[in-house]
Amino acid sequence: MLKRLRTDRIDLLYQHRVDPEVPIEDVAGAVNDIMEQGKVLHWGLSELGLQTIRRVHAELPLKSIQNEYSMIWRDPEKDVIPICEELGIGFVTRWPLACQLFTGAIDSNTQFSPSELRARTTRYSPENLPQNLKLVDLIKIWAIRKQASPAQIAIAWLTAQKHWVVPIPGTTQMAHMAQNIGADTIKFSVEEVNEFNKEFDYIQIKGKRLPDFILQFSKVEAPLK
C-alpha cells in the first residue's frame, strides 16, 4: 500500500470506528508496533466514547480525533473538544460544509438520489430542510459582509473556534478546492464569532445528522481489557 501511495510512511493513520469487540489497548498496541517500524508517524480515532478517549490516550497518545463538526452539528463543543483541549489532541472536522448545504447548492426543491446518504438523513428531508436552510440564509448574509463565498464562511467559522480545529471539506472539482483553501484568508474576530452565534441561536436545526443504522456506531466505548 505504501508503494502505491509513493511514500515510505503514513503521516496520520485513523481507526474510523471503534470495534466494540476489541479492547482499545489492543488497538493501541498494534498501532504502536507499526509506528516503531517507521510505517506510521501519528494516529487518530473517530466516533469514540469519552472514556475511551482517555484510556487510549494514556496508552498511546492520540494526535487527532476526527468527528463531524460544523454549524449544523455543534455537539462536539459539549464534550469532545474540551477533552481534546485538556489532553492536547487535535480535532479534525469532517463534513464542515454539511454535505454541500453550506455551499448554497441546495434549496428547498433539491431532490436527492435514493442511493445518497442525504436521502436517508432527516436533516435533509422535505419536512426539515426548509427550516435548516435558514442557517444557510444567515451564512449568505455574512458571506456578503465578509466578501467571501458561503462555503468559505462555514470553514472560517470553524477555524475561528480553536486554532487546532482543522476542517477537511471534500470536493471533486479543482475550483471548489481553491475556494475552500481561500477560506484561510477569511478571519472572524471574537466579537464577530459572538455576533454570529447570537444570531444563530435563534435558528432551530431539525433532523438527525445521520441515519439510525449509522448513528449506532457513534460514540462507542471500547470494551475493557
* pLDDT at position 112: 92
Is 222 within the bounds of a domain?
no
- Angstrom CA distances, 96 to 67, 92, 168, 182, 189, stand at 10, 10, 7, 15, 19
Range of the domain at 72: 10-215
Is 1 within the bounds of a domain?
no
* pLDDT at position 58: 96
Is 224 within the bounds of a domain?
no
Q: Where are the alpha helices (DSSP H) in the chain?
A: 24-36, 50-59, 80-87, 129-146, 150-159, 174-181, 190-200, 212-215
The three cell numbers of residue 190 are: 471574537
Is 220 within the bounds of a domain?
no
By C-alpha distance, which of 81, 2, 85, 92 is closest to 44? 92
Is 221 within the bounds of a domain?
no
Model confidence pLDDT, tens digit, residues 29-65: 999 999 999 999 999 999 999 999 999 999 999 999 9
Radius of gyration in angstroms for the set of CA atoms belonging to the chain, rounded to a whole number: 19
* pLDDT at position 35: 96
Q: What is the pTM of this model?
A: 0.91
Is 112 within the bounds of a domain?
yes
Is 186 within the bounds of a domain?
yes
Model confidence pLDDT, tens digit, residues 1-28: 778 888 889 999 999 889 989 999 999 9
Q: How many domains does the chain have?
A: 1
Low-confidence ranges of the chain (pLDDT < 50): none
Instruction: Assign residue 72 the CATH number of its domain.
Output: 3.20.20.100
Is 105 within the bounds of a domain?
yes
* pLDDT at position 188: 95
